[in-house]
Structure 1
Amino acid sequence: MLVPIFIDLNPRSQNTTQSENEAFAFDTNVGNESIPLYNSTHIDTPYIKEYSMQNGTWPNGILVDKSGIVWTVGTKSHTLISFDPKQGRVIASYPIPQDSQKNATKNNNVQSSVSMVWAVVQDKDGSIWFSQADSPNPLWRFDPSTKKFESNHLVSAAPYQLRVDQNTGNIWYTTFTDNKLGVIQKIGKNQNMAGNSNSSISSQYKVTEFNLGNESFPSGLYLKGDSVWVTQSLNNKLVQFKAITDPNNSVVNVVKILEIPSSTSSSNDLSLFDSPYDIVHLGNNLWVTEHDANFITAYNVGSKSVTKFADSSNPHQYVTLPFWLREGAGGGLWFNEHYGNRMALFNTTDLTLTEYEIPTRDPNLGYISNALNFAVDPVNNRNVWFSEYNHDKIGLLNTGVSLPFNIQSSVNKVVLSKMTAHQGEQQKNATTTVVNFEISKNLDNNKSSSAVPPLSSNNNNHEIVFFKTSSSMTHFGVLNSSANFSSNFIDLAKLENNTAKVQLFIQNDYNVPPGNYTLGISATDGRVTKTIYPELIVK
């Protein structure tokens, strides 16, 4: 059973009087045991450690700097926060100059106003840049060495995303509501910062903006060479721009090189993506998160083919809202499911997805903590830090802890036959397709070099692994066909030879249109989910 979703990106503003029963929490009963999956406000997990911020912080944008210090900004507390993972605590909190909130509310009540901070980056000089929406000062720079802030008024609106070009030091950004792509370039040495806690950096940096057209709504950014890739989320396009520089290597213009789909595309091609929010270019593929469609999607630039991979279903929400996309170790791609309440890692080599449940969840808001943002640790890209906007927390996900199980199949292609019926006959049942796969117990799951404790060998609640399906057939990633497993669950503690064979039975009894799709077969213990994706062909 599912609850109606809310697309409001500020769930704190919603009515929170909904009863817990309306969230449709459930237990799965196996024999005499009750296996909690999604029915609690907190899940014990060895993969994630959470740290509490001061009440009323409301963290969103987050950064891990070059030395491993975590930075986040309180959208409600109006503070820049520095957190030391080695000490496991906040080591400094810097109030953002209050005149940034001068016009935030009619009563000028700084403490009650909210200024969303979506983007935080560290430039090549070590300064921390962050945006601040609904503020007279939409962009700030903070120097950790002097502990001083500077504001920039040259940007037309608060940047939605910021990306640093590690070759040139330029900072590129998008303004979602103002339809701009912009670049910040350093033109001189700052002389004012040390003596003024709220000085202007307009004279120290050059800001150049490029109008992308009305209702383009640019969000995600990816820099590669002289190319700047942008997702235009509400008109469902991916656009490649080339940066044009003058003899001094200063960016003076951008030229559109490629638009996907193009304005001359057929009506079918115009619906290639659904709210693409972020983008990464790996090899021949452009990888995007489709925010409103539960997909991470690969677009092959050479063949112009699209392959969509649905994340696993969530019992409380119709959509999981995959959001930002970041590169991880070994060609992996991280993304946050802020309504699915999970951090996810997609392996672009073996095409598998691992989703880690965030421990904290709010039953009054559909069992989510609202992880709106995350950052990959540049020192150890197996570690990911994320913010929990609804609960004044930040969290560390450590993939050094191995999973207790694995799912695999030798089947890489599944064919579904269409239902047929002769004239005058009732429609016949579709042919059943059988997919064989295996669940195996990971014997190394108690061996971890991580500081996060591994799975407890005596925790019977999480020895049970359940199965579920997804597909790219439908908008919400639902397998639009009848599907049943030969076993509804597997008890890892009772496996013979540490392996179990399972079968998935599928029938195309909903007359799915012929085409090529992907089939997601997932195994979960309620704390982590692993999904494999054989190709799905409907004839």
Structure 2
Amino acid sequence: MNKNTKKLLALAFMAIFIVSTVSVAFLGGGRTATQTKPADTTITNTPADNYPDDKRATFCDTGPAKSTKYITEFKIPTACTQPLAIITDPSGAVWFTESNTGNVGKFDLSSKTFQEFPNTQWQKGEKSMMWGLASAQDGNIWVTDSQHVLIWKFNPSDKSYQRFAFPKSQTQDGSFPQMLLIDGKNAYVNDFTGRKLGVFTTDNTSPDLGITSIQSPQKYNFTSAMVTDSANNVWYTAWIYQQGGSLVKYDQKTGNSTQYPLPQDIQAPNGITIDSSGKLWIMDTASSFFFDFDPVTSQFTKHTTSPPQVASYGNASGLIKTPISRPYWDHFDDKGRLWFNEQVANSLGVYDPASQSLVEYLVPSKNPNWSDCGPMKDCGVAQVLDFTLDHNKVWFTEWVENNIGLLDSSVPLPLNVTTSESSLTVHRGQNATVSLDITPQDTLTSPVSIVTSNTSGPQTISIMSSQGNVTVNKPTSVKITISADNFASPGTYQILAGARYQDVTISKYINVTIQ
């Protein structure tokens, strides 16, 4: 097997890990934890001891915390905790799970100090993907534990942990309690591989949570995250990787479910959220696409991110022909903007439906062991696997860099980007030109790169920019040519055109109707 083939297989494995949300390397290929130390391990008496020396850079960190104009990272004092889920409480304190220790951690921004609360029930040497984290009305913190198929309650007052069994499913892959949503006193947990949702009340005082199971469609392997609407319906996705799935609406009053078939090009619908109008927004972790769904019309609309920066994926082997961003989870902020993490683009994106714009922020820390970096410097991904919103603050975790990060979205952007058209019509076999207008808002010290992408693919629409890199020291216009293929299917598609300056990309959407 040649080196390029090995690299391609490694990249394919990483993709499967992220899409399915199950790390074979992390779980050791099964659900039985082991306390045997790996071979060739230097004992440090830290959580890094859960990995042999040659894996510590891959799973623990590759250097100190970094910062940009927009993002500040904070290194967790304990080595190799692998932070995963993250939330803020009403006081503004930041809480996060440590998937390599079983602990809950807390960060205070004013003092820039961490507290880590030992879980004395956790056996040394164990690790678990602890994706779900939520704060209840009484102040208690709830956590999911996929490895042990448990739900934990952490009491911040007395710093105690209480564990509860999650109902096990008789599926081939067993149960995997993943995300956690608390709505009032009701808590919802998706069983990612167990084909169900679990529901319980957070004010339960008995040793048994009394979890009620909502069965998802049995023809699908995965049950992903969930959200509730104003009528108290529960929405979630059920799917088979790259083989289709359904958006499911469960009526909690009647116990009835309604299924809406997902578009064929949704391959791994993980994140789901809802806006103020009742539209559902779904992230496809197997592509660069995200979708909205209108329950009134039962119609899906497809959106795209910009292409990832080379610094995130590297492509030293030359085998990555079409890099993708893999949007994962999503939340709306108090300004009506949709935020999501672009996992393999090492970025956080914010889509504004009102202005039809997208801003993407590159995370400064990069772990080269998760990308095709080769000899490239400052290359890789920090595995930003979760985030939470607090007004203008976006908090996130870096699973393989042992950091939590803070993005300040109030920091002014260096560019203002507009287009001469927000929508246009192109006949098959013909083209149209629009102007991408870039106005500097600051003194720029390097050229601006022009980026484009679309939701249809080059076999339907191709896009060409008159310039690839532009020096922007005054208002500048770049011509974007949009061409419709001779055999393009009629319909309305969306293209994205934008400007990338260092670690931020600002783009606008244009709706293109092909006739």
Using structure 2 for the length normalisation, give the TM-score: 0.79
Alpha-carbon offset, residue 351 of structure 1: 1.8
Q: Find out whether 1:404 has 2:389 as its counterpart.
A: no
1:77 to 101, 105, 122: 101
Alpha-carbon offset, residue 491 of structure 1: 2.3
Deviations 1:153-208, CA, capped at 9 Å, x for gaps: 14334521111113xx11111111111112112565x4xxxxxxxxxx524x4321
Q: Find out whether 1:228 has 2:234 as its counterpart.
A: yes
Q: Aligned letter for 1:160?
A: Q
1:490 to 470, 489, 510: 470
CA contact 1:469–1:479 (8 Å) conserved in 2:
no
Alpha-carbon offset, residue 529 of structure 1: 0.7
Alpha-carbon offset, residue 513 of structure 1: 3.1
1:466 to 449, 461, 476: 449
Higher RCO (Cα < 8 Å, 6 or more apart): 1
CA contact 2:463–2:481 (8 Å) conserved in 1:
yes
Alpha-carbon offset, residue 507 of structure 1: 2.9
1:532 to 496, 508, 513: 508
Secondary structure at the counterpart of residue 364 of structure 1? helix
Percent of paired sites with the same residue: 24
Secondary structure at the counterpart of residue 460 of structure 1? coil
Q: Find out whether 1:146 has 2:150 as its counterpart.
A: no
Q: Find out whether 1:385 has 2:408 as its counterpart.
A: no
Secondary structure at the counterpart of residue 302 of structure 1? coil
Alpha-carbon offset, residue 93 of structure 1: 1.2
Q: Find out whether 1:292 has 2:286 as its counterpart.
A: yes
* Structure 1 counterpart of 2:438: 439
CA contact 1:41–1:363 (8 Å) conserved in 2:
no
Q: 1:392 to 1:285 in 2, by over 3 A?
A: same
CA contact 2:342–2:349 (8 Å) conserved in 1:
yes
Secondary structure at the counterpart of residue 330 of structure 1? coil
> Matches of residues 22-171 of structure 1 in structure 2 within 5 Å?
45-53=68-76, 54-90=78-114, 92-98=115-121, 100-101=122-123, 110-111=124-125, 113-135=126-148, 138-156=150-168, 157-166=175-184, 169-171=185-187
Secondary structure at the counterpart of residue 254 of structure 1? coil
Moved over 6 A (4+): 14-18, 40-43
CA contact 1:470–1:479 (8 Å) conserved in 2:
no
Q: Find out whether 1:303 has 2:297 as its counterpart.
A: yes
CA contact 1:163–1:172 (8 Å) conserved in 2:
yes
Alpha-carbon offset, residue 512 of structure 1: 3.6
1:517 to 493, 497, 510: 493
Alpha-carbon offset, residue 306 of structure 1: 2.2
Give the number of the structure whose alpha-carbon radius of gyration is greater. 1
Q: Find out whether 1:415 has 2:418 as its counterpart.
A: no
Alpha-carbon offset, residue 41 of structure 1: 11
CA contact 1:284–1:302 (8 Å) conserved in 2:
no
Distance 2:454 2:300 in 1: 14
Larger mean CA deviation between 76-85 and 407-416 belongs to 407-416
Using structure 1 for the length normalisation, give the TM-score: 0.75
Distance 1:290 1:224 in 2: 21
Distance 2:139 2:155 in 1: 7
* Structure 2 counterpart of 1:206: 210
Larger mean CA deviation between 325-334 and 481-490 belongs to 481-490
CA contact 2:216–2:238 (8 Å) conserved in 1:
no
Alpha-carbon offset, residue 310 of structure 1: 0.7
Larger mean CA deviation between 115-124 and 177-186 belongs to 177-186
Q: 1:270 to 1:336 in 2, by over 3 A?
A: closer
* Structure 1 counterpart of 2:481: 505
Larger mean CA deviation between 397-406 and 304-313 belongs to 304-313
Alpha-carbon offset, residue 368 of structure 1: 0.7
Distance 1:187 1:399 in 2: 35
Distance 2:505 2:25 in 1: 28
Secondary structure at the counterpart of residue 339 of structure 1? helix
- Gaps of at least 5 residues in structure 2 are 1-6, 29-51, 56-62, 169-174, 314-319, 372-379
Distance 1:11 1:41 in 2: 27
Distance 1:12 1:41 in 2: 24
Deviations 1:353-388, CA, capped at 9 Å, x for gaps: 1111000112232211110111112xxx22111110
> Matches of residues 256-275 of structure 1 in structure 2 within 5 Å?
256=257, 258-261=258-261, 271=264, 273-275=266-268
* Structure 2 counterpart of 1:255: 256
> Matches of residues 176-187 of structure 1 in structure 2 within 5 Å?
176-186=192-202
Deviations 1:283-320, CA, capped at 9 Å, x for gaps: 15221111112112112222333221110102326221
Alpha-carbon offset, residue 437 of structure 1: 2.2
> Matches of residues 329-344 of structure 1 in structure 2 within 5 Å?
329-344=334-349
CA contact 2:260–2:298 (8 Å) conserved in 1:
no
Q: 1:94 to 1:479 in 2, by over 3 A?
A: farther
Secondary structure at the counterpart of residue 56 of structure 1? coil
CA contact 2:449–2:470 (8 Å) conserved in 1:
yes
Secondary structure at the counterpart of residue 252 of structure 2? strand
CA contact 1:327–1:334 (8 Å) conserved in 2:
yes
* Structure 2 counterpart of 1:279: 272
Q: Aligned letter for 1:271?
A: Q
Q: Aligned letter for 1:290?
A: D
Alpha-carbon offset, residue 50 of structure 1: 0.3
Q: Aligned letter for 1:232?
A: A
Larger mean CA deviation between 125-134 and 296-305 belongs to 296-305
Distance 1:75 1:187 in 2: 26
Distance 2:82 2:397 in 1: 9
Q: 1:44 to 1:145 in 2, by over 3 A?
A: closer
